[in-house]
Chains A and B, each alone.
Chain A
């Protein structure tokens, strides 16, 4: 078994008075693609945002490569290679595609490899090179998702967390992005994927956590999870 790159221990968190996560524990192994599936409102996005620190954990610990980073603000975690491609892309609308990608390489960690990483992003998404001088707000939804993913890659991720890769995209485009994800995994990048398309998520991932009402009732290797009756009924509509 490979080393644990990211670990959540008994995380509880929420917004204001409303508790969303009721003690979740998960381990992301280095070089693997781990997916978190679950119904709307189960707490998937909150889990990622709490890991990142955009939402403060109420209790529990977040470990990145064994180091306790629970209390660090998001920018400090990003500087250590914990990268979140957020839901809804969250680009810089008034900046060009090239500038958006450049902001990915802002941290001291990512700057030395800015050039190589930019080449890699343009290789994966040639469309972005064609549009590099366009403002990101003028792109289509699929292209914006490419920028968001590319910007995440520019950050030299130790762990790449992606919130809803395929949301709002045409099926063909979603397929294409999933292929890109597979390639990235083969290049050795550790990935955490939150995804509403459960079929695709189970198919590409190594390990799956099922999140329901802020808890993790089911976890296991993706192939096994895909075969479980309760998962097939609740999430795959079979």
Chain B
């Protein structure tokens, strides 16, 4: 019985990283109605970015999150101007295609550089042993970092002038313009933050598991599940839903083969879409 307990704690810790990734997807959708299909590629870039940075500096990998996030913001601004600004107000298929194109380019270049063989970040923090189970330090640090970043984002959105402008644009873009808010600049900032969150979550995952340039795809799919669980455009709900998804994975993984997990997750996805079409955290308001 304590086996499933340990597995669930593991799931909970990993789930917070899923949640962080999904926050990025959710923020971009909520603010500009763009489904960002570069998400998985950005997660993969986060993994390889962490790999390169760690090998170059050999300092504590979790301290490297700060430069990783800064890099993610810059990358986000570049992608926004290259591929997103032109399609924001166009039919949704346009932004799907343009972000998918960026995704394919990043994956293509990444495959050329690193092939599709696995890499790993050779860094570990000592764990804690309780009875016969050891909780790895990396899992705990990754979860802690994810929650910390999520809280910082929430505070940024609630307290700062720019954060409030992002919420105003998400709520009513035309009205925000009338207030003197340059909505284009706000969209750029929101997109950059969304990309930075994807990069940060990829960086965290790279300290937990081996990865390839294609690994982002699986996390992108999990992000979709989490985002739908939480209700589109609710970043903090996405963190909670991510933790729930992780818990679910932890609870079932001792009993079934790993390859069945996506089936369960997407079964849940369909079920939620049918039963709670607006997400489990949405109240039934108009």
Q: Which residues of A contact B (CB under 8 A)?
A: 52, 54, 73-76, 78-79, 83-84, 86, 90-95, 99, 102-104, 106-107, 109-110, 137, 151, 155
Contacts and interface: CB of A to CB of B under 8 A. Distances in A.
Contacts of B285: 137
A52 B178 contact: yes
A102 B164 CA distance: 9
A91 B175 contact: yes
Contacts of B176: 75, 92, 103
6 nearest A-B residue pairs (beta carbon) = A107-B180, A78-B180, A92-B171, A90-B175, A74-B177, A79-B180
A90 B173 CA distance: 10
A49 to B, nearest CB: 10
Given A54-B174, A90-B174, A155 B180 contact: yes
Contacts of A83: 178
Interface string B164-208: 110110111011111111110000000000000000000000000
B90 interface: no
B161, B168, B172, B175: which has the most chain A beta carbons within 10 Å?
A: B175
A78 B178 contact: yes
Interface residues of B, number: 19
16 contacts: A74-B177, A75-B179, A75-B181, A83-B178, A86-B178, A90-B174, A90-B175, A91-B172, A92-B175, A94-B167, A94-B171, A95-B168, A99-B164, A103-B168, A110-B180, A155-B180
B179 A107 contact: yes
A84 B175 CA distance: 9
A95 B167 contact: yes
Nearest to B169: A92
Contacts of B183: 75
A91 B171 CA distance: 8
A78 B161 contact: no
Contacts of B172: 90-93
B179 A106 contact: yes
Nearest to A90: B175
Given A86-B178, A95-B168, 18 more contacts: A75-B180, A75-B182, A76-B182, A78-B177, A78-B178, A78-B179, A90-B175, A95-B164, A95-B167, A99-B164, A102-B164, A103-B176, A106-B161, A106-B168, A106-B179, A106-B181, A107-B180, A155-B179
Nearest to A88: B175
Contacts of A76: 180, 182
Given A92-B172, A95-B171, A151 B179 contact: yes
Nearest to B186: A75
Contacts of A52: 178
A54 B183 CA distance: 12
Nearest to A89: B175
A104 B174 contact: no
A90 B176 CA distance: 9
A107 B165 CA distance: 11
B177 A54 contact: yes
Contacts of A104: 179
Contacts of B170: 94
A94 B169 CA distance: 11
A102 B179 CA distance: 10
A52 B175 CA distance: 12
Given A75-B182, A93-B171, A94-B171, A103 B164 contact: yes
Contacts of B167: 92, 94-95
A162 to B, nearest CB: 12
A54, A76, A78, A79: which has the most chain B beta carbons within 10 Å?
A: A78
A104 B180 CA distance: 8
A54 B179 CA distance: 12
Given A92-B172, A95-B171, A106 B165 contact: yes
Contacts of A79: 180
Contacts of A106: 161, 165, 168, 179-181
A75 B185 CA distance: 11
A83 B176 CA distance: 12
Nearest to A52: B178
Interface string B146-168: 00000000000000010011011
Nearest to B233: A94
Interface in B123-160: none
B178 to A, nearest CB: 5
B26 to A, nearest CB: 14
